[in-house]
Amino acid sequence: MATVTTERFRINNLDCAACASKIENNLRKLDGVETVSLSFATLTLAVKARDMELVLETVRRIEPGVTLIPENEDKLKPVALDHGADYRPWKALLYFGASATLFLLLLAFEDRFHTPSGVWLEYVVTFTAYLLAGWNVISGAARTIRRGEFFDENVLMVIATGGAMAIHALTEAVGVMIFFKIGEMLQDLAVSKSRGSIRALLAAQPDHANVQSESGLKLMRPDQVNVGAMILVKPGEKIPLDGVVITGDSQVNSAPLTGESMPAGVRPGDAVMAGAINLTAALSVRVTKPFQESSIAKILALVENAAARKAETEKFITTFARYYTPVVVLIAAAVALVPPLLVAGAAFQTWIYRALVLLVISCPCALVVSIPLGYFGGIGRASRRGILIKGSNFIDALSQVKTVVFDKTGTLTRGVFEVGQVVSFNGYSEQKLLEYAAAAELHSDHPIAKSIIRAYTEQGGDVAAITVHDHRMLAGSGVKAIVNGSMVLVGNDALLHRENIDHDQCVADGTTVHVVINGKYAGYFLMGDQLKPEAPEAVARLRESGVERIVMLTGDNACAAEHVAEHLNLDAFHAGLLPEDKVRVFEEIVARNGNNGKVAYVGDGINDAPVIARADVGVAMGALGSDAAIETADVVLMTDSPAKMAEAVAIARETRRIVWQNIFLALTVKGLFVAFGAFGLATMWEAVFADMGTALAAVVNSTRALGKNR
């Protein structure tokens, strides 16, 4: 059995969104094809299949003019499919100019052409102008018919204009074809501009690395550089790979990764990420990851692959377009035949003309083109702001969020603890209490543990001189160890209750860490963990966006949690939770929420992975360089600012609003002209203006989802 392989292709000469949908649908039906995603927005095709040659042959059969170029050209040689190579824009413009000139002659000398001696000349000029304007439309229609398909926009336009000439509406036939081509060119221009903006978002990928060697600097592609190599990053250059600074002291702009342009200082020993821009001085960097695993490569892959996860709205429109055109064609056939056969005095020519008007309006291009562009524009805009949304389905989910649940430590608060106060009991001195706690926490990597050890060493203590045995981590509650022969417990309130230790301490303005020595309560540390400055703004902006309920979950004690909740004016909080408790409490929140919108969870992406996976929208915050966060979450915030969550919701809602504006615009205009055409209230001129004008307006509106360039 052939092995399953995954290939990504760049697509050339694909100018029709309906054709893109047709290719994708046909590839899905092939045996051995597991997944397929074709993005008209980025002109990329991703396929996972057993027989890649069958995939290429199918594309060749469906759209002979398309060219596929494998992105990984080392594995597969570029494949140029038939036709399309001889197409030249200047040739199309030349033909179009000649056709327009002849059309103006038809209009200027219409009276002379209608004389008996001028009729033959009128037909010659008409057919010449028609062929010059619509030669590619006619050839496209012929290819479609050879495949046994009849509901392609090219076929419908040929039938409509050919029918117009058959009933001697010659100037309308030529004019409609000319203005159809004008509309196509304007639409292609708008799509190209939108696509260029999207590609600009993906242009953060570094294109070279200055590799240091014994013979000097060697210019290499980033994907050719090995881990451990030394690279030189000059001022103004993008850092090509993830690494550690060995020499140099500079400022680095991480805007391509995080959306925040505030430079940060780096010096020897600091980690730097691929895609960031070195600003002020040269840096020597030791590469720590291959390019494929670098931060920028993961970001670009997420943005480009987002097209594979389609929103229900996109799926509906694809299905709708498949049935809309045949239905309108059947209505047109009924309009052309039924009245003349059943109604006395109804002329075939009149009703055929009305049917031709319906054919002009029967192509759903405005929907098929603009909706994917709108969604991808929203995803691209978010990525530029350091917000990675993994698919248009999550755009829809974010736009419907009514409840947001936050983790506390590291999400709403800074997660940087300092020992603010030491309170001792039962004869222990503050210094002794700190000594025992620091020794017990010696092998823990929790931020609180590191803070206690740091406080002890800053007072001159030497943890290494203390004898520590039988160190044990107590999940969700603290640590246990034998220090200088004494059993020491260090942890939260839950630990005291579990060990039945009498205590009566609750401090409202900080995290409390309790210490128990040989079964007796010895005292506590008050750990200061400040709110992030952006937290109040984030909560306020979420409420402005329509989020109705904001809840906090934390493993911290109820006193510290209540202090944060009151300061931020949260609707509820749940404290003292173990990791497994968070999932249970989150399930209860979801159950109480019922059908009132979606529930999102925002956490650090590692400790909160189970809850992130369970949420309608799982959001990992501050996840720059975190593999676990990027894999688990539906939305990845590349900085640790909770305000990014509010921004993500706002972008999602604006994107969905733009998408529905396009749907309403297209369906309303097309519905009206189907009715107008059936009752003889619209001409073919008006129909083509309505059809192409709606498509153009929808595409231009979709570009708004990209937002302003920053």
| Helix/strand/coil for 388 | strand
Q: Within 13 A of 229's CA, how many CA atoms are on the CB side?
A: 26
Classify burial at 239, counting beta carbons within 10 Å of its beta carbon; exposed 0-12, middle 13-18, buried 19 or more: buried
Q: Which two tokens stand for residue 378?
A: 């929203």
Dihedral over Cα of 98, 101, 106, 112: its sign: negative
Phi, psi dihedral angles at 501 (to 5 degrees): -95, 125
Q: Give the length of the chain.
A: 710
| Helix/strand/coil for 374 | helix
- State the Cα–Cα distance between residues 642 and 386, nearest whole angstrom: 12
Catalytic annotation present for 640: no
Catalytic annotation, pick one of 152, 407, 493, 556: 407
CB 54 within 8 Å of CB 45: no
Whole-number CA gyration radius for the chain = 33
- State the Cα–Cα distance between residues 10 and 59, nearest whole angstrom: 13
- State the Cα–Cα distance between residues 318 and 37, nearest whole angstrom: 13
Q: How many CB atoms lie within 10 A of CB 298?
A: 18
CB 634 within 8 Å of CB 598: no
- State the Cα–Cα distance between residues 403 and 335, nearest whole angstrom: 51
Classify burial at 448, counting beta carbons within 10 Å of its beta carbon; exposed 0-12, middle 13-18, buried 19 or more: buried
Q: What is the DSSP letter of 294?
A: S
| Helix/strand/coil for 469 | strand
Task: Provide the Cα torsion 394, 400, 405, 407; round to 10°.
Answer: 30
| CA nearest to 358, candidates 317, 326, 322, 321 | 326
Q: What is the DSSP letter of 238?
A: B
- State the Cα–Cα distance between residues 479 and 514, nearest whole angstrom: 11
209 pairs with which residues across the strands?
220
Q: Please report, for the chain, how many H helices and E strands are present, in that order.
A: 23, 26
Q: Which two tokens stand for residue 109?
A: 């000398």
Q: What is the DSSP letter of 2?
A: P
Phi-psi region of 639 (alpha: psi -120 to 50; beta: other; left: phi over 0): beta
| Helix/strand/coil for 151 | coil
CB 236 within 8 Å of CB 277: yes
CB 637 within 8 Å of CB 622: yes
Question: Which positions are catalytic?
Answer: 407
